[in-house]
Amino acid sequence: DGRLYASIEYKHDAIGKGILNKLEGVRNDEQTGFYVAVFDVDRIDRIGMNAEKDDVMKTVYIKEAVDDYYAKVSNNGQELEHRFGCSGIDGVTFAPAFGQSRDGKKYLYVAYGIYGDTLRTDNDYQVILAYDTRDWKRYEQPLTQENLHKSGPEKPLHKYFLYTGNTSWGIQNLAYDKASGNMHAAVYKGKKSHYPNYSYFVIDGSKAPERKQLQGFDPAVEAEVLSLLPEGLHDAQSDTWGWNFKWGTTGLCPIGDGYFYISHNAKDKQTGNQSSTVQLYKWTGNPDKAFEPVE
């Protein structure tokens, strides 16, 4: 629709408080809220515009993720906070339905952040919500940090699960590659020793989701499960596929014909300032080298 979609979190865990403390004069009402932000790029015509007051950004409340974040669950006899290990939302992309034509209707996919808790067994899946955004105008509201709104769909169209093993903070960047029909996911490596802890995954767009019982859940949970592309490195014990690729967690953008712009992030040790250099890559999918840099 010519607009730009992104995820926004307001939360008060360790990460949220750390970020808030660095923002001078910014406070909110101590609520936790997860939103998809929708930017009207045609209105962005100068530097320093105010997202709340200049009518460039509207937001839609992602109730499903907030409910999972606040939920308390029982698993293997333990009482745990945060259903599925949900820490919020992160990577977003538009793509057709899994297992259907690439030329079909596009849906918005929103990936969870996942806590990297190594002691629980019910946080080894990536969780991806699917939404039809055709009627989202009725939900869109400006975001006021002092009074977080709750205007959004009651439920997603689908709630998908992808077995990768636990990762640190879930899918950082989710990007649909029209050239292959697959969805790429860049993550921070997990820390559970019985997984290979890949940092890059590709979701097979040609395979429809299958309803399965999720591993590691007691009591049992059934859900729609997506498939990893069976290429790259394979771990027989967990039956997971992926790659070890250093970049992509701070920016991942397919541009066609197997080419991607990918962020190389850096942090200045003296000042603490963070930066990014964008590098052009060509996808190879080889087990030892997922991407080839383009000079």
Q: What does the pLDDT read at residue 213?
A: 98
Say whether pLDDT at 28 is over 80.
no
Confidence of residue 19 (pLDDT cuts 50, 70, 90): low
Say whether pLDDT at 59 is over 70.
yes
pTM (2 d.p.)? 0.94
Say whether pLDDT at 147 is over 90.
no
Q: What does the pLDDT read at residue 31?
A: 80
Q: So where are the chain's domains?
A: 4-249
How far apart, in whole angstroms, are the C-alpha atoms of residue 258 and residue 251? Answer: 16
**Least confident segment among 46-55, 71-80, 164-173:** 46-55
Q: What does the pLDDT read at residue 20?
A: 62
How far apart, in whole angstroms, are the C-alpha atoms of residue 170 and residue 71? Answer: 18
Q: What is the DSSP string of the chain?
A: ---EEEEEEE--SHHHHHHHHHSTT----S--EEEEEEE-GGG--STT--TTTSS-EEEEE-HHHHHHHH-EEEETTEEEESGGGEEEEEEEEEEEPTTS-TTS-EEEEEEEEE---TT-SS--EEEEEEE--TTGGGT-B---TTS----S-SS-SEEEEEE----EEEEEEEEEETTTTEEEEEEE----TTS---SEEEE-TTSPPEEEEPTT-SS--EEEE--B-S-SEEETTTTEEEB--S--TT-EEEEETTEEEEEEEEE-TTT--EEEEEEEEEEEEETTEEEEE--
Confidence of residue 276 (pLDDT cuts 50, 70, 90): very high
Q: pLDDT by residue (tens digit) across 226-258?
A: 999 999 999 999 999 999 999 999 999 999 999
In this prediction, residues 196-207 reach a mean pLDDT of 98
In this prediction, residues 275-284 reach a mean pLDDT of 98
More confident residue, 120 or 12: 120
Say whether pLDDT at 166 is over 80.
yes
First to last CA, the chain: 33
Mean pLDDT of the chain: 94
Say whether pLDDT at 29 is over 70.
no
Say whether pLDDT at 12 is over 80.
no
Say whether pLDDT at 27 is over 70.
no
In this prediction, residues 130-158 reach a mean pLDDT of 94
Residue 112's contacts (CB-CB under 8 Å, 6 or more residues apart) are 65, 68, 84, 85, 86, 87, 88, 89, 90, 126, 127, 128, 129, 170, 171
